[in-house]
């Protein structure tokens, strides 16, 4: 088999990376060629993504990749879901994409439910109700009477924005489109009922393309700037979890997964969405996957709590690696403090350790004082949350599950993986890390 070389960009809510994959003799070898920090920027009270800097980092990754592997034939980009930006008819960016952790959606779901009842919204989309969803972000702009609405030609989700910058094409892909809660999986189209009910113009939504579509080559001005040749841009499963699940090294059918990172997404892969009263009450979601499968899962606030603690401790002058934090957690006494990782107080608090202490105090548990106690509280709480969601998942799919695969960056946290295996009582396999 002839060697083939590809470039993958994986952008998360904390970092981004460029990885070259070399496919040769039925084996794929991965080589990271660039990594960068990605954090939102607060400007006059609003939290934005620094999209121009992010695109610059992608170009650096592309150049690094081509320098080391001149035979790269195509690239693909995945990111987190729900967030979006806008472009005008003149191919200009309209404003900056707002981060899903911004507070502009506070109270917005309830206002939407007055127009479209919660039950109807779920039945139309099969998507878990979360205030970060694109539908609530978009409707918040109507409530604010945002002047940007007058300049929009197309709404593009985060990976689509980068594809647009590379190719000039304004399209989206199945997996990322499903995260918006604006897509009807039964009709395989944007939900006209939702757009009409909320007074949103449906024509701003891009064409939904199948996973794996070739979007064409990189624009000439980028090739000239970087001094590179022709490279095709492919739309992979643009939602990072969709790509991660495709990489799970599972056999058989009785397995579940956790895509572990800032968020923990626990679920199974199915052929058709499960949209029932029971799945709605349990707040499970049906997100698109590769080959038009659906990932029936629940979004759980994952290592965001630990990331928030680390940032707070850094501000206090205590710079700790994640391995050092895990070691402190290992040394702390077990089963002393617990939080609900999905409680709204942890969405974007000014100081995460304080939020954890306040939660414990308000629920009559005492207060975790040391860094180790706080970290152990987070990890044990996540493991028990996984247990709760796992049991509900089995009930909803009416099937036993006997193996769990943890993929993504969070799979490197061996203490959390062991806690999870202990809580679930089944074999837990970790990796690939770079899923």
Q: pLDDT tens, 255-298?
A: 999 999 999 999 999 999 999 999 999 999 999 999 999 999 99
pLDDT classification of 335: cutoffs 50, 70, 90: very high
111 has a pLDDT exceeding 90: yes
pLDDT classification of 428: cutoffs 50, 70, 90: very high
pLDDT at 220: 98
Give me the residue label for tokens 């004082």: 369
350 in Cβ contact with 318 (< 8 Å): no
Active-site residue 106, yes or no? no
Distant-in-sequence, close-in-space partners of 405: CB < 8 Å, separation ≥ 6: 248, 249, 250, 255, 256, 257, 258, 428, 429, 430
pLDDT digits (tens, 9 = 90+) for 390-408: 999 999 999 999 999 999 8
pLDDT classification of 191: cutoffs 50, 70, 90: very high
Distant-in-sequence, close-in-space partners of 170: CB < 8 Å, separation ≥ 6: 87, 153, 154, 156, 160, 164, 206
Per-residue H/E/C for the chain: CCCEEEEEEEECCCEEEEEEEEEECCEEEEEEEEEEECCCEEECCEEECCHHHHHHHHHHHHHHHHHHCCCEEEEEEEECCCCEEEECCCCCEECCCECCCCHHHCCHHHHHHCCCCHHHHHHHHCCCCCCCCHHHHHHHHHHCCCHHHHCCCEEEEHHHHHHHHHHCCCEEEHHHHHCCCCEECCCCEECHHHHHHHCCCHHHCCEEECCCEEEEECCHHHHHHHCCCCCEEEECCCEHHHHHHHCCCCCCCCEEEEEECCEEEEEEEECCCCCCHHHHHCCCEEEECHHHCEEEEEEEECCHHHHHHHHHHHHCCCCCCHHHHHHHHHHCCCCCCCCCCCCHHHCCCCCHHHHHHHHHHHCCCCCCCCHHHHHHHHHHHHHHHHHHHHHHHHHHHCCCCCEEEEECHHHHCHHHHHHHHHHHCCCEEECCCCC
1 has a pLDDT exceeding 70: no
**Rounded-to-integer distance, Cα 142 and Cα 135, Å:** 11
114 has a pLDDT exceeding 80: yes
251 has a pLDDT exceeding 90: no
The backbone region for 34, taken as left when phi is positive above 0, alpha when psi lies in -120 to 50, beta otherwise, is beta
**Rounded-to-integer distance, Cα 33 and Cα 68, Å:** 8
CATH 3.30.420.40 in the chain is located at 4-238, 239-435
pLDDT at 151: 93
Q: How many CB atoms lie within 10 A of CB 278?
A: 11
Residue 254 CA from chain centroid, whole number: 24
Name the β-bridge partners of 85: 156
Options 10, 196, 240, 340, the catalytic residue: 240
435 has a pLDDT exceeding 70: no
**Rounded-to-integer distance, Cα 80 and Cα 371, Å:** 29
pLDDT classification of 312: cutoffs 50, 70, 90: very high
pLDDT at 181: 98
Average the pLDDT over 113-128 and give the result.
98
pLDDT classification of 90: cutoffs 50, 70, 90: very high
3.40.47.10, 3.30.420.40, 3.30.360.10, 3.40.50.150: which CATH number matches 4-238? 3.30.420.40
Q: What percent of the chain has pLDDT over 70?
A: 100
167 in Cβ contact with 219 (< 8 Å): yes
- CATH architecture, domain 239-435: 2-Layer Sandwich (3.30)
pLDDT classification of 432: cutoffs 50, 70, 90: confident
**Rounded-to-integer distance, Cα 160 and Cα 6, Å:** 19
């Amino acid at each position: 088999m002839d060697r083939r070389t590809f470039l993958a960009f994986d952008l998360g809510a904390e970092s981004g990376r460029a990885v070259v994959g070399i496919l040769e003799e039925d084996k794929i070898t991965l080589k990271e060629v660039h990594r960068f920090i990605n954090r939102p920027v607060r400007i006059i009270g609003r939290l934005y993504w620094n999209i121009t800097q992010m695109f610059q980092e992608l170009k650096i990754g592309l150049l690094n990749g081509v320098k080391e592997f001149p035979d790269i034939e195509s690239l693909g980009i995945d990111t987190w879901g729900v967030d979006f930006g806008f472009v005008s008819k003149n191919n200009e960016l309209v404003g900056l994409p707002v981060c899903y952790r911004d507070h502009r959606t506070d109270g917005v779901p309830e206002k939407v439910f007055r127009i479209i009842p919660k039950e109807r919204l779920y039945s139309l989309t099969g998507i878990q109700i979360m205030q970060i969803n694109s539908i609530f972000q978009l409707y918040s702009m109507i409530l604010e009477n945002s002047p940007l609405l007058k300049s929009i030609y197309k709404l593009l989700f985060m990976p689509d924005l980068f594809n647009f910058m590379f190719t000039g094409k304004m399209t989206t892909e199945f997996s990322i489109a499903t995260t918006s809660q604006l897509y009807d999986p039964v009709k395989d189209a944007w939900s006209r009922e939702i757009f009409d009910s909320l007074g949103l113009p449906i024509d701003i939504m891009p064409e939904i393309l199948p996973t794996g579509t070739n979007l064409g080559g990189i624009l000439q001005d980028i090739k000239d700037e970087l001094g590179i040749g022709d490279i095709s841009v492919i739309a992979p499963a643009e939602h990072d979890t969709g790509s991660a699940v495709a990489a799970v090294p599972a056999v058989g059918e009785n397995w579940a997964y956790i895509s572990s990172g800032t968020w923990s997404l626990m679920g199974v892969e199915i052929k058709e969405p499960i949209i029932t009263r029971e799945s709605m009450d349990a707040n499970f979601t049906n997100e698109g996957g590769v080959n038009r499968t659906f990932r029936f899962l629940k979004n759980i606030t994952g290592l965001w709590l630990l990331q928030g603690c680390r940032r707070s401790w850094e501000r206090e002058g205590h710079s700790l690696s994640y391995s050092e934090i895990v070691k402190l957690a290992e040394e702390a006494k077990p089963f002393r403090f617990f939080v609900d990782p999905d409680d709204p107080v942890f969405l974007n608090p000014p100081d995460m350790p304080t939020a954890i202490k306040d939660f414990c105090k308000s629920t009559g548990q005492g207060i975790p004082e040391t860094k180790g106690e706080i970290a152990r509280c987070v990890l044990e709480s996540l493991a028990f949350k996984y247990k709760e969601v796992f049991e509900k998942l089995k009930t909803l799919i009416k099937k036993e599950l006997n193996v769990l695969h943890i993929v993504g960056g969070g799979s490197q946290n061996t203490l959390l993986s062991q806690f999870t295996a202990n809580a679930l009582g089944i074999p837990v396999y970790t990796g690939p890390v770079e899923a």
